[in-house]
Amino acid sequence: MAVLVTGGSGYIGSHTCVELLNAGYDIVVVDNLHNSRVESLRRVREITGRAFKFYEVDLLDQEELDKVFLYNHIEAVIHFAGLKAVGESVHLPLWYYHNNITGTLNLCKVMQKYGVKRMVFSSSATVYGTSGQVPIPEDAPLQATNPYGRTKLMIEEILRDLHTSDPLWSIAILRYFNPIGSHESGRIGEDPNGIPSNLMPYITQVAVGRLKELQVFGSDYPTMDGTGVRDYIHAVDLAKGHLKALDKVMAESGVDAYNLGTGRGHSVLELVAAFERVTGRSVPYKFAARRAGDIAVCYADVSKAKRELGWAAEKGIEDMCIDGWRWQSSNPNGYQQEIEIAVK
Ligand code: NAD
Ligand code: WQD
């Protein structure tokens, strides 16, 4: 019996694979490697000392996906696979809708065919839109402001409809806040293609000398220092939340959404200061205009996850900065570096 991890070679997927393997689960990974490298999975194996199967399969290819279920005894699915860049989704909405929604429909159809009805799904705090209510509980009004966010909202609805049609389905929808940081080994981490659009990889790439300076988007928000406030959560805490959600879907049927965050907000400047303090590196920055679509403050009400999953984040922003820096400083070019060395 194995847990299928879609998108398992990506940032959060690879961290969750480590936690699953360390907890004794057998896993099968599916990824089309669109936004990740197989090197991450080699390192998951290195960290855990455990072997597992990897299929380079696109969720859009239902026939190939079917074979994964045919040849393996899958008991539950953790579904990370999807495109996630907000800006890109505005320019390429059809690609985002097709990849994220058709990919999920294919997965659900194959799961249904093989009688696999337990799923943990990666949603996002982006489904809360721009209301600005804090801390945000799971029953806050939902509203997406870009195609990426709408794919998450639509998939949440699809999964609820699936459960209505067959109450034996058991689905945990996890709404992540702002995942940052890396496994303490420094061997796996976030490796964005091109210039990062998210704050933490931008900071680490400035600190490592790949980028000149950080632009801080907005200095006049109604926050303690005028910069945007977010609920940053360590990738390892987040990964552990998936194991708790897996326990829940294995134990009982239903469909429920859970916020995964720390419940605390930190400003851009606080994160920069914490990073400089714990790494000893300086992060030059300049203020720039607010980024379109950004809100001032966003952090989670995490009481439901604590109450119903028995999960709470343990790591603070200093751990996130230390671990994020360990990954970036020992892999200045991400996973690419090792591949280049191997070719020489
Ligand atoms: P990631 O891009 O590192 O990982 C996603 C993986 O899915 C990649 O390895 C990619 O190659 C794969 N993939 C994409 N489309 C696929 C398809 N059609 N078939 C097979 N594989 C496919 O992203 P991540 O940061 O690890 O995010 C994982 C999930 O969590 C995503 O669904 C994302 O939307 C969601 N999420 C991420 C964040 C964040 O800030 N990182 C926040 C909230 C939600
Ligand atoms: C954080 C703060 C920026 C970059 C995004 C997605 C969301 C979710 C998580 C997937 C904000 C500021 C950023 C920079 C900056 N992903 N910033 N300079 O926007 O909260 O959330 O990632 O589901 O859907 O929208 O995260 O890391 O981009 O920004 O000043 O170069 O850092 O304005 O205040 P965000 P982020």
DSSP assignment of 147-183 equals HHHHHHHHHHHHHHHHHHH-TT-EEEEEEE-EEE---
In terms of Cβ atoms closer than 10 Å to its own Cβ (0-12, 13-18, 19+), residue 100 is: buried
- Residue for token pair 């360590």: 234
- Helices 147-165, 103-113: axis angle to 10 degrees equals 20
Query: Can you list the domains of the chain with their CATH numbers?
Result: 2-343 (3.40.50.720)
Question: Please, what is the end-to-end C-alpha distance for the chain in angstroms?
Answer: 40
Asked whether 124 lines ligand 2 (CB < 6 A), one says yes
Q: Which ligand is closest in space to the CA of residue 4?
A: 1
pLDDT digits (tens, 9 = 90+) for 171-186: 999 999 999 999 999 9
**From CA 159, how far away is CA 161, in angstroms rounded?**
5
One-letter amino acid for residue 101 of the chain: I
100 band by pLDDT with thresholds 50, 70 and 90: very high
Dihedral sign, Cα of residue 35, residue 175, residue 77, residue 98: negative
Question: Quick check: 343 pLDDT over 80?
Answer: no
| Cβ-Cβ contacts under 8 Å for 314 (sequence gap 6 or more) | 234, 237
Which one from 96, 148, 299, 335 is the annotated catalytic residue? 148
Closest to 41 (Cα-Cα) out of 15, 65, 20? 15
Please tell me the pTM assigned to this model: 0.98
H/E run at residue 245:
helix 235-251
**From CA 265, how far away is CA 268, in angstroms rounded?**
10
Question: In 3-state terms, what secondary structure has residue 304?
Answer: helix
pLDDT digits (tens, 9 = 90+) for 216-235: 999 999 999 999 999 999 99
pLDDT digits (tens, 9 = 90+) for 229-284: 999 999 999 999 999 999 999 999 999 999 999 999 999 999 999 999 999 999 99
Averaged pLDDT score across all residues of the chain: 96
Average pLDDT of 101-116?
98
Q: Which ligand is closest in space to the CA of residue 60?
A: 1
Cα-Cα-Cα-Cα torsion 259, 262, 265, 270, nearest 10 degrees, comes to -140
**From CA 77, how far away is CA 121, in angstroms rounded?**
8
Q: Which residues of the chain form beta strands (DSSP E)?
A: 2-6, 27-31, 53-56, 74-79, 118-124, 170-176, 178-180, 214-217, 229-230, 232-234, 254-260, 266-267, 285-288
* pLDDT > 70: percent of the chain: 98
131 band by pLDDT with thresholds 50, 70 and 90: confident
Question: Quick check: 71 pLDDT over 90?
Answer: yes
Q: Whose C-alpha lies nearest to ligand 1, atom 33?
A: 84
pLDDT reported for residue 165: 98
pLDDT digits (tens, 9 = 90+) for 17-69: 999 999 999 999 999 999 999 999 999 999 999 999 999 999 999 999 999 99
Best probe residue, ligand 1, of 14, 31, 327 (max atoms within 8 Å of C-beta): 31
CA-derived radius of gyration, the chain: 19
324 band by pLDDT with thresholds 50, 70 and 90: very high
Give me ligand 2 centre to Cα 36, in Å. Answer: 20
- How many angstroms separate the Cα of 170 from the Cα of each of 173, 196, 256? 10, 35, 9
Asked whether 145 lines ligand 2 (CB < 6 A), one says no
Give me ligand 1 centre to Cα 243, in Å. Answer: 18
**From CA 38, how far away is CA 268, in angstroms rounded?**
32
pLDDT reported for residue 132: 80
pLDDT reported for residue 339: 47
Cα-Cα-Cα-Cα torsion 7, 8, 13, 16, nearest 10 degrees, comes to 150
Question: Quick check: 146 pLDDT over 80?
Answer: yes
337 band by pLDDT with thresholds 50, 70 and 90: low
Active-site residue, 148 included: yes
pLDDT reported for residue 90: 96
Average pLDDT of 74-88?
97
- How many angstroms separate the Cα of 152 from the Cα of each of 17, 40, 49, 146, 243? 22, 25, 34, 10, 21
In this structure, are residues 201 and 331 in contact, taking their beta carbons and an 8 Å threshold? no
Give me ligand 1 centre to Cα 223, in Å. Answer: 30
Pocket residues: Cβ below 6 A from ligand 1: 7, 9-13, 31-36, 58-60, 80-84, 99, 103, 122, 124, 176, 179
Question: Quick check: 322 pLDDT over 70?
Answer: yes
Question: Quick check: 81 pLDDT over 50?
Answer: yes
**From CA 156, how far away is CA 172, in angstroms rounded?**
10
pLDDT reported for residue 12: 98
